[in-house]
Amino acid sequence: MALRELATNCKFDTFHDEMIRDQLVEKTCVPRIRERLLMEEDDLTLDDAIKKAERIEAAIKDAKQVSGPELHVKALSKKPKPAARHEKTAAAGPKCTRCGGNHGHKGECKAMGQKCRRCGKTNHFAKMCRMKAVSAIDTKEPAESSLTVLAVNNKSTDSLFCECRLGGQLIRLQIDCGAAVSLLNMETFKKSFARHPLLPTSTKLEAYGGSAIKTIGKVELPVTFNGIRTEATFYVADKGANILGRDLFQALGFKIFQGDNRVMSISETMIERDFPGIFDGLGRSKSFIHRTKIDASVKPVSQPMRKLPIGLKDEVTSEISRMEQQGIIEKVDASEWVSNVVVTRKKESNKVRLCVDLRQVNKAVIADRYPVPSIEDLSASINGSKCFSKLDLRQGYQQIPLHPDSRGLTCFITDAGLYQFTVVPFGLSSSGAAFQRALQTVLRGAPGAINIVDDILVHGKDETEHDKNLREVLGRIHREGFTLNREKCKFRQASVDFFGLVISADGIKPTKCNVDAILRIPEPSTVAQIQSFLGAVNFLHKFIPHYSAIAEPLRQLLKKDADWHWGERERTAFRTLKSAVTSSPVLAHFDCQAETYVTCDASLDGLGAVLSQVQNEKEVPIAFASRALSPAEKRYSAGEREALACVWSIERWHYYLYGRRVTLRTDHKALTTLLDSKGMGHRPLRIHRWVERLRGYDVRFEHIPGADNKCADMLSRWATTERVPAEETDEEGYVYAVVDSKTTLTADALATATKEDEVLQAVLQYISGGWPTKVDSSLKPYFNVRDELFCWNNGQCLGRGERAIIPTSLRLQVIEEAHEGHPGVVRSKQRCRDTVWFPGIDRQVEDYVKNCTACTLAEKSGKPQQTIVTPIEWPDGPWDKVEIDIFGEVAAAPRHQRFLLVIHDLYSKWPEIAAMETVTSANIIKTLRKLFGRWGVPKMLISDNGPQFVSDEFEEFLRAEGIKHSRVSRYYPQGNGGVERFNWSLKEGLAANLRAGAKFEDAIDLVLKTYRTSQHALTGLTPAELMIGRKLRSGLQLLRPTPVQQRDDSDLRDSIAQRQAKNADYTNKRRRARDSMLQAGDWVWRQTPHRAHKLATRLKEPLKIASKAGRNTFVLSDGTKWQASRLVECNSPPADNGAADQEDDWFDLPLPPAPPPRTGEPPPPPELRRSTRARRQPARYPLPEGGECSDCA
């Protein structure tokens, strides 16, 4: 072209083709070419523009050459003149309406039994067919002054047909260059396009000769032929053939030749005719089956099911059903390996794409290495070729069957159960090599064919050679059982995009999208922009010849005293560096087997990313990308913008990265945890969703310093405007809904309070502008979670994760709402955590609930703290310390033995039992005198606070005997634990022996005998050995062949101390016990074990602590002694404590009054029940001061 020769003298650099293309469109002398090219997208290349212009010129030229005796021209105007009648034939007499001849009898008709080539019916010839021939259609449109319709009257009865895709349906159309419009019959419309709206029309259609065609309406349909797609209007007629009129000739690129009326084009119709079914459904290889090799040392992983959003469940279920029907997956009952599904949406159709997260499986898969053609192999293969086709296998990997032994590896879990793949799935690390081996084997020896994974390139030096090579490749694919993706195949092209490269007669070039981010960088206007640009280019300087000399004019501007000057010299250096970065050898080609990196960054204005690989031990760039942020995205926090850059860059290069291991590098260190599927913390909702989108990729995250991220940083700061897809989920809407539904606050009230909160205003500024390295102490809690914060409500409110951040002025109101209904501490905190957050939220909620008087009295928040259990000091010898308690009454015992007095020796664990009818101080003293006469007088006696043990009579008896009396704290049986534990054994032993038929007295004796002769868990000896120095002779002892040797107990004390410490440590940990923080002067509630009724409280009126009597024992102002585990701190002491002898149940809830009896009916009999009166201590038993052993406390 002349323009190409003239352009050689211009310094267009990398804009060479674009400038020539613009001149072609602007200066062409054919208006139809200009109109057609201006309708194309912005990415129209020069080669495509030339090809389309040549096609239009040929169509115009061919249309002018259409003439001769076979073609008739009829001009129609708005008011057409009557059409000329046909000349009558010379033959006389009536003609037969079936054959057109003259004969006298029906049986002589030659058309009888013959099939009409026009309508397909029998008993007439096509020339006599009564079906209206729509070889000429006239449209009467009010807006047009005249229309020219060409009528084709072929002497041959054969008609021309082609098959086009109309609205996705393959329809056979009769080609008629005499028809001004295209036509469908009503039968075809109802069968294939009934779902499309039938539009009314006032257009009148006329057949050749002026006869009217009955039209029902018109329909708008997309038409696809030979890779060309356009929109067209089809008129729907009552009957007749389906016509492709000349209104579509130009749009579909038809060329008409007068000699034989052939339509010249490599079409899908020809391919479908010669290779039937090659575009239909999902193929299946006949010769290959993939069996994955597994490392047996890797343990199978069965993942728990991750719940899918409710809105996706129906679509996922439908997709699973489709895949099962197509034989892609099958249902199974169990598998060692179980993975989760990852759901994404297809960009072209917005339908769900079902992937499986096979990253755990890939750890066990032994890598299968198979060589992939290199760029050098590809360059050598296409040398000299000028015509190209690209074939794409439909769902490539899934056309290879998977061996039954390997299917369990692909098992995944859904709501409908377990499924596994029957074909090779995407995401399995061995899939690429297996498919490359299979397809390369099929194509081995085919001339002009090369494949990289599922993309096949067919080429030839001219169209004849190309067509021959294409037919050979299609034949091999068809015989193997593979199918092609019709929409992604390109036939007979001057250039094609192949595996991220542009293949043409001029060689191999990178695709425009891979270098657009660099080419669109505007000229710098400040020194800072020069520094940013040179910092990025310096990353690649070792690949740019004469880099120092080229960049020298730009470096001069960076000198300290240099004046800013942007002239032709600087402009030339800037453009030269951009051109060098986007051309070879700087920009490398993608290698399927090389280590791959994606480096990304985000600024306040845009996103930037670099795709690179390690080739020949050097990291080289493959592609650059950048885009500007939308107004909504600019309000994201710094962490969200960086996360968006990560997800966008991975999905941007999906073609290169899917199914391969890739390292994603970012200078935002927190993202390496937040974007990892195992990362913890309160992620913002957007990041939660982005993590799900990344699950389908095998990504490893890596942090790099900002100084090493110059290129991506520059691209993000100089990002140009690009079409930004709308976010599919509105996080702000979710937070609005949570705040509105779970609190009485409104977003406006929250925004107003946030505006008045100085701390939150500073946080808002840091989120949008970036956080400093150090902040004030008031901002430290927000700084620690800065990667989880985001702005909402147009930047007026703050959020963390999915929760709103509450300003200081509204926090008490929020806590009050969370505690509405008086839930406990845990539930109140949970209600807050579901909705809101602010620093110290747990502590503030706990303090509020603990100070709630209603919750304290209801014992929801005022529960006593479990205190440390302290082991009792082991006595010096037998019968030094004894414990006493009352067991009963026992309903199964005789009346005079209903109560049992139990005495337990702490040293030897020796028990004594005395049965009695009534438990009085006198009866107890009588029994103790007998025991003291047998075993001696102990040094200390430990008891509870029963009235029998605190009476003056009992105290006087102990003083007379010289026995120290230690009473345990009120309602604290653990202080008398030894005898209480024996009571448990006594209860079980009596129940078992009584069921066995023993008398009550005999049952007691059996329990005593068994207990005294059994080894004790604490001492390791029997109570008899420690009490009387020998084992009691029993029935089992008679079986021993040698006398029993007495055991040395010199180390017994150390052993018991260790066991006691171990038991105490276990109990303290299990109960989470700790020492009480109560002190003298504190006010406390006293907890009793009984209630007056179900709704009454067990807490008695608060009293002040007078003194501390032991480690966790306190004496109150009324003189009573209480263990801390029965005391609850009173945060609001009463104004007037009142007398100590006031009623204990002064604040109990009142019982509802009984309803009055009905008139005329006798009152109901009184109900006999156990009294619920709170029993008081008898006046005859005053409470003298008694000393309690601090060791027992």
To the question of domain 881-1040+1052-1066 being in CATH 3.40.50.460, the answer is no
pLDDT at 735: 46
- Of residues 512 and 200, which shows the higher confidence score? 200
H-helix or E-strand spanning residue 618: strand 618-628
pLDDT at 1193: 39
Amino acid at the residue 670: A
pLDDT at 1155: 43
- Exposure string over 53-88, b if 16+ CB within 10 A, otherwise e: bebbeebeebeeebeeeeebebebeeeeeeeeeeee
Q: How far is CA 106 from the centre of its chain?
A: 79
Query: Does the structure show a pLDDT above 70 at 609?
Result: yes
Average pLDDT, rounded, for the chain = 77
Phi, psi dihedrals of residue 105, rounded to the nearest 5°: -130, 145
Lowest mean pLDDT among 280-289, 636-645, 719-728, 1006-1015: 719-728
Query: Does the structure show a pLDDT above 70 at 512?
Result: no
Alpha-carbon distance 466 to 386, whole Å?
Answer: 9
Lowest mean pLDDT among 23-27, 77-81, 700-704: 77-81
pLDDT at 930: 92
To the question of domain 123-265 being in CATH 3.20.190.10, the answer is no
- Percentages helix, strand, coil for the chain (3-state, rounded to 5) are 35, 20, 45
Locate 289 and state its tokens.
């089956």
Average pLDDT over residues 626-638: 80
Closest CA to 840 of 894, 897, 785, 797: 785
Query: Does the structure show a pLDDT above 80 at 479?
Result: yes
- Of residues 164 and 865, which shows the higher confidence score? 164
Alpha-carbon distance 218 to 1188, whole Å?
Answer: 105
Query: Does the structure show a pLDDT above 80 at 939?
Result: yes
pTM (whole model) above 0.85: no
Locate 823 and state its tokens.
């839930």
Q: pLDDT class for 266, splitting at 50, 70, 90?
A: low
Query: Does the structure show a pLDDT above 60 at 673?
Result: yes
- Exposure string over 638-677, b if 16+ CB within 10 A, otherwise e: bbbbbbbbbbbbbbbbeebbbbeebebbbbbebbbebbee
Query: Does the structure show a pLDDT above 90 at 712?
Result: no
Alpha-carbon distance 536 to 578, whole Å?
Answer: 11
Lowest mean pLDDT among 483-492, 548-557, 686-695, 904-913: 686-695
Query: Does the structure show a pLDDT above 60 at 1158?
Result: no
pLDDT, one tens digit per residue, over 1042-1060 is 554 555 555 676 777 777 7
Query: Does the structure show a pLDDT above 90 at 784?
Result: no
Q: pLDDT class for 703, splitting at 50, 70, 90?
A: confident
pLDDT at 11: 53
Please determine whether the domains at 512-717 and 881-1040+1052-1066 fall in the same fold group of CATH: yes
**Cβ–Cβ under 8 Å, residues 1193 and 1110:** yes
Q: pLDDT class for 898, splitting at 50, 70, 90?
A: very high
**Cβ–Cβ under 8 Å, residues 1104 and 1085:** no
pLDDT, one tens digit per residue, over 739-778 is 444 455 788 888 889 998 999 999 988 887 778 888 888 8
The top-scoring range by mean pLDDT among 382-386, 994-998, 1145-1149 is 994-998
- Of residues 1171 and 173, which shows the higher confidence score? 173
pLDDT at 73: 33
- Of residues 517 and 479, which shows the higher confidence score? 479
Average pLDDT over residues 612-621: 84
Lowest mean pLDDT among 197-201, 329-333, 944-948, 1032-1036: 1032-1036
Give the class (CATH, top level) of 512-717. Answer: alpha beta
Average pLDDT over residues 432-456: 87
Query: Does the structure show a pLDDT above 80 at 1096?
Result: no
Rounded percentage of the chain residues whose pLDDT exceeds 70: 76
Average pLDDT over residues 1078-1089: 86
The topology (CATH level 3) of 1073-1139+1179-1193 is: SH3 type barrels. (2.30.30)
Q: pLDDT class for 909, splitting at 50, 70, 90?
A: very high
Which DSSP state fits 37?
H
pLDDT at 1147: 41
Alpha-carbon distance 78 to 604, whole Å?
Answer: 62
Q: pLDDT class for 1018, splitting at 50, 70, 90?
A: confident
Closest CA to 110 of 94, 98, 95: 98
User: Which residue ranges make up each domain of the chain?
Assistant: 2-65, 123-265, 310-510, 512-717, 731-850, 881-1040+1052-1066, 1073-1139+1179-1193
pLDDT at 214: 82
Amino acid at the residue 742: K
Average pLDDT over residues 527-538: 77
**Cβ–Cβ under 8 Å, residues 135 and 243:** no
pLDDT at 1036: 64
To the question of domain 310-510 being in CATH 3.90.1150.10, the answer is no
pLDDT at 1156: 47
Rounded percentage of the chain residues whose pLDDT exceeds 90: 15
Query: Does the structure show a pLDDT above 90 at 20?
Result: no
pLDDT, one tens digit per residue, over 913-938 is 999 999 999 999 999 999 999 999 99
Average pLDDT over residues 446-466: 88
Q: pLDDT class for 1011, splitting at 50, 70, 90?
A: very high
β 899-905/964-967 pair status: unpaired
Q: Is 683 exposed, middle or buried (0-12, 13-18, 19+ CB in 10 A)?
A: buried
pLDDT at 861: 62
Alpha-carbon distance 34 to 53, whole Å?
Answer: 9
Lowest mean pLDDT among 492-496, 531-535, 545-549: 545-549
pLDDT at 1186: 42
